[in-house]
Amino acid sequence: MFRSRAKNEKATAADQAPVTNSKQTRDPQAPKGRPTPKRSVAQSQRRSVANTPTTRKEAAKRSRDERRAALEKQRQALATGDERYLPARDKGPVRKFTRDYVDSRFHIAEFFLPLAVIILVLSMVQQATLQNVALLLWLGVIILIVVDSIGLGFRLKKQLNARFPDESKKGAVAYALMRTLQMRRLRLPKPQVKRGERP
């Protein structure tokens, strides 16, 4: 009797609405408006939704864990020479051959640090003779390193051009010279060939 007008209108609209039969099936020929996704796509979407972090803190923790895992894989790759996880500067057959070529030979530059320490000690001694010897040693070491590096550069270029004619060899000689400056046991990636063994 005292019902509001809006409620009356809603009730009459509900009474007039057609009753739908829930058991009625959709016409198989009727388009549904989008293509059915492949199973792999659907699974990956479900996985990504399930793995999406809900909070900012969770997202930061997940990215930290992923970064830590990637660094661990990279560290192991530097020790074992696994190409898949090496840093970009060490990847590829040209860089691998360059490393093996350097590691298979003795180079004067790899003894630069120990020789520099010896020369420094000799130059600190307050004797003119020892200081002159230290200066001559210093000059001799530098000349030998330069000559050895030039020879290495020419030989390596020749080998790379013969073995990898179609690949980019940009930066390979500089990469080799930087590797010769490190002592063999401190080199990363670790040497995979013995001295005297040809790559």
Q: pLDDT (tens digit, 9 = 90+) per residue, 63-79?
A: 898 899 888 888 888 88
For residue range 82-113, what is the model confidence (pLDDT) as tens digits?
888 888 889 999 999 999 999 999 999 999 99
Burial class (CB in 10 A: 0-12, 13-18, 19+), 16: exposed
Whether residue 191 has a cis bond before it, omega within 30° of 0? no
Mean pLDDT throughout 27-44?
72
CB neighbour list of residue 59: distance below 8 Å, 6 or more residues apart = 53
Question: Residue 22 has what pLDDT?
Answer: 47
Specify the pTM: 0.66
Mean pLDDT of the chain: 82
Residue 124's pLDDT band (cuts 50, 70, 90): confident
Taking Cα atoms as reference points, which of 157, 42, 150, 52 lies closest to residue 98?
157
For residue range 176-198, what is the model confidence (pLDDT) as tens digits?
999 999 999 999 999 999 988 88
Rounded to whole angstroms, the Cα distance separating 113 from 171 reads 24
187 φ, ψ (degrees, to nearest 5):
-75, 140
